C-alpha cells in the first residue's frame, strides 16, 4: 500500500472543518485590518530563498526541498512566505501604487525538511502578513497586534508577547563586532552549529536551542548597549503603541529570530498552554528594512510575521477551543422511487441555490435507513417524496426534532424553511 510521505498528513473530517474554521476567522480579521490577500507560487527559483532568507539560516542550509526542473533550472519548494511576497511586490511594481503602505496577507502550504513532531510537519500551513513602504514604528505595533487579536478571538489564554530590537544596520554591525570579540575565546564551548554561526552570523548564536543555558550565553553583550539614537527611538515608539492598544509585552534581549533579514523590531508570541511543552512559540516576525533592496527592488522597508496553523491547531486542541463536531443539515430529501428522484434532485438544487444545506438519499436506502441517515447528519427537516406527493403536487415535510408533519407545495417550501430554520437557529 502506498502511504503518505513522512511529515505530512491527510485532511478530512473534523480536521478539515477545523482548518476551514481558522481560515475563515483569519479572512474576516484581515478585512477588518484592510489587508489584501496575496498568493505566490509554491515553488520558485532557489536563488530567491538563498538571497532572501539567507545562506546561513537553518531553513536554507538544512531544510529546503531543492530540485532541478526539466529546463535544468534550480527550484525550491516554498519554505516560508516573505521572500515570495517580496519578489511579487518588486516584480509587479507595487511600490508605485498610489495607495501606500501596501498591506498584504497570505495563507498556504510551506515545505521544510525537518524532524516531524507534534504540531511540526514537513508540509505545513502558514498565515502571515507583510507591510511595505512605511518605516513608522506604528506599523510594527499594528503587525504585532494581528496575531495577538487572532489568538484572543480563537479563545487562547496565556499569550505572551516577547519583543526585542536588533537596531538599524549601523547598530547591528557594531553589535556583530562585539559578539565576535566576546565569543572568540569560548568557541570550544559552543556546539558545532554555533561555531559555524560565529563565522557567518554571530547574532544567531544567541538563538541557539542547545547552548542557551550556558553562562557564556547569559553573559553575552546585549544589543541595547550598541543601539544608536535612531534605533532607541524606534523601539521606544513601538512599545508606546503596544501599550496604547493594551498589549502586554516583555523585552527579551536574547531574541534575534532565525532569519538574516531582520532589522529593528523582532518579536515572538508564545502560548502558555498546559502540556504544550517547549514548542510553545506560535508566531514570529519583525522589521526588514533592506530585504526589498537585497532582492533587486528599491530601498523600501517592510515588516511582517508568520504563524504556523498546525501548531495553532495543537494549542487550540489542548485548550479545548475548537468548535464541536456537530454536523447539521437543513434538509434531507427521501425519494421513494425513481420518478421521485427526478423531483427530489430538482428540489435539492433549488434549496441549495436558495442558501439551504440540503442532502438527498444517494444510496437507495429503505425508509428506516433514510431516517437513520437523517439523524446521523443532524437534519432539521426531512422532505419525503413519493407517488402520492407527485400526484397531489405536494410535499411531506417532517421536523426531525419534534416529528411534526406539514403538507405544502413547492412554492411554499422556501418561505416555510426561511421562517422555521431561522426560528430553530434562534432557539439553539
- Cell numbers found for residue 77: 519548494
- Determine the structural domain holding residue 418 and report its residue range: 329-427
This prediction has a pTM of 0.89
Helix, strand, coil % over all residues of the chain, rounded to 5: 45, 20, 35
| Residues 246 and 118 placed together within one structural domain of the fold | yes
User: For residue 199, is it within any domain?
Assistant: no
Give the DSSP H/E element, type plus range, for residue 10.
none
Q: Are residues 164 and 40 in the same domain?
A: yes
Do 29 and 88 fall within a single domain? yes
Rounded to whole angstroms, how far apart are CA atoms 70 and 72?
5
Residue in 254, 196, 265 with CA at minimum distance from that of residue 58: 196
Same domain (yes/no): 347, 311: no
Rounded alpha-carbon distances, angstroms, from residue 234 to 59, 154, 164, 241: 29, 31, 11, 11
Residue 76: inside a domain: yes
The reply to whether 37 and 126 lie within a common domain is: yes
Place of cell 527559483: 45
| CATH code of the domain containing 109 | 3.30.930.10
Whether residue 214 lies inside any domain: the answer is no
- Judge if 374 and 312 occupy the same domain: no
215 within some domain: no
Asked if residue 308 and residue 407 are part of one domain, the reply reads no
Which of 318, 344, 368 marks a domain boundary? Answer: 318
Provide the number of structural domains found in the chain.
2
Q: Each residue's pLDDT tens digit in the chain (428 positions)? A: 999 999 999 999 999 999 999 999 999 999 999 999 999 999 999 999 888 676 656 677 678 999 999 999 999 999 999 999 999 999 999 999 999 999 999 999 999 998 887 778 999 999 999 999 999 999 999 999 999 999 999 999 889 999 999 999 888 888 888 888 888 888 888 888 788 888 777 887 877 777 777 888 888 888 889 999 999 999 999 999 999 999 999 999 888 765 667 889 999 999 888 777 666 889 999 999 888 998 999 999 999 999 999 999 999 999 999 998 777 899 999 999 999 999 999 999 999 999 999 999 999 999 999 999 999 999 999 999 999 999 999 999 999 999 999 999 988 999 999 999 865 544 44
Contact 114, 88 (CB under 8 A): no
Domain match, 314 and 341 both? no
CB proximity list for 170: less than 8 A, separation 6 or greater: 228
Coil, strand or helix at 275: coil
Indicate whether 184 belongs to any domain: no
Q: What CA–CA distance (Å, rounded) separates 219 from 255?
A: 14
Query: Does 175 fall in a domain?
Result: no
In a domain, 90, yes or no: yes
**178 is a domain residue:** no
Domain boundary residue, one of 266, 299, 318: 318
Same domain, 302 and 341: no
Q: Domain check: are 50 and 144 in the same one? A: yes
Give the C-alpha separation, 165 to 145, whole Å: 17
**What is the domain-level CATH number for residue 388?**
3.40.50.800
Instruction: Say how far apart CA 125 and CA 309 lie, in whole Å.
Output: 5
| Same domain assignment for residues 126 and 78 | yes
Specify whether 281 is located in the same domain as 374: no
Amino acid at each position: 500500500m502506498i502511504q503518505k510521505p513522512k511529515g505530512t498528513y491527510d485532511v478530512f473530517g473534523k480536521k478539515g472543518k477545523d482548518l476551514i474554521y481558522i481560515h475563515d476567522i483569519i479572512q474576516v480579521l484581515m478585512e477588518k485590518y484592510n489587508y489584501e490577500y496575496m498568493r505566490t507560487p509554491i515553488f520558485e527559483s532557489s536563488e530567491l530563498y538563498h538571497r532572501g532568507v539567507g545562506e546561513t539560516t537553518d531553513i536554507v542550509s538544512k531544510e529546503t526541498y531543492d530540485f532541478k526542473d526539466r529546463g535544468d533550472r534550480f527550484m525550491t519548494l516554498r519554505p516560508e512566505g516573505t521572500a515570495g511576497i517580496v519578489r511579487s511586490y518588486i516584480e509587479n511594481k507595487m511600490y508605485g501604487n498610489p495607495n501606500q503602505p501596501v498591506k498584504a496577507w497570505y495563507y498556504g502550504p510551506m515545505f521544510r525538511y525537518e524532524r516531524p513532531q507534534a504540531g511540526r510537519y514537513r508540509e505545513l500551513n502558514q498565515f502571515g502578513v507583510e507591510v511595505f513602504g512605511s518605516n513608522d514604528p506604528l506599523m510594527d505595533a499594528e503587525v504585532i497586534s494581528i496575531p495577538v487579536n487572532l489568538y484572543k478571538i480563537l479563545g487562547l489564554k496565556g499569550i505572551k508577547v516577547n519583543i526585542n530590537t536588533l537596531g538599524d544596520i549601523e547598530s547591528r554591525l557594531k553589535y556583530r563586532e562585539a559578539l565576535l570579540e566576546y565569543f572568540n575565546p569560548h568557541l570550544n564551548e559552543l556546539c558545532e552549529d554555533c561555531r559555524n554561526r560565529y563565522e557567518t552570523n554571530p547574532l544567531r548564536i544567541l538563538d541557539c536551542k542547545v547552548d542557551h543555558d550556558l553562562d557564556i550565553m547569559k553573559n553575552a553583550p546585549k544589543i541595547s548597549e550598541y543601539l544608536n539614537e535612531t534605533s532607541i527611538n524606534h523601539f521606544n515608539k513601538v512599545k508606546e503603541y503596544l501599550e496604547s492598544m493594551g498589549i502586554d509585552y516583555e523585552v527579551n534581549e536574547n531574541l534575534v529570530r532565525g532569519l538574516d533579514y531582520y532589522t529593528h523590531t523582532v518579536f515572538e508570541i508564545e502560548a502558555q498552554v498546559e502540556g504544550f511543552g517547549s514548542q510553545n512559540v506560535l508566531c514570529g516576525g519583525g522589521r526588514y528594512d533592506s530585504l526589498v533592496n537585497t532582492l533587486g527592488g528599491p530601498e523600501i522597508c517592510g515588516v511582517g510575521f508568520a504563524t504556523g496553523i498546525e501548531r495553532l491547531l495543537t494549542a487550540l486542541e489542548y485548550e479545548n477551543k475548537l468548535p464541536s463536531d456537530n454536523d447539521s443539515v437543513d434538509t434531507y430529501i427521501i425519494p421513494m422511487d425513481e420518478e421521485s428522484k427526478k423531483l427530489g434532485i430538482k428540489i435539492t438544487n433549488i434549496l441549495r441555490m436558495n442558501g439551504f444545506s440540503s442532502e438527498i438519499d444517494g444510496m437507495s436506502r429503505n425508509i428506516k435507513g433514510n431516517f437513520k441517515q437523517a439523524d446521523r447528519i443532524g437534519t432539521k427537516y426531512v422532505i419525503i417524496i413519493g407517488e402520492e406527493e407527485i400526484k397531489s403536487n405536494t410535499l411531506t415535510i417532517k421536523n426531525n426534532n419534534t416529528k411534526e408533519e406539514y403538507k405544502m407545495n413547492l412554492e411554499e417550501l422556501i418561505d416555510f424553511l426561511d421562517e422555521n430554520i431561522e426560528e430553530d437557529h434562534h432557539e439553539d
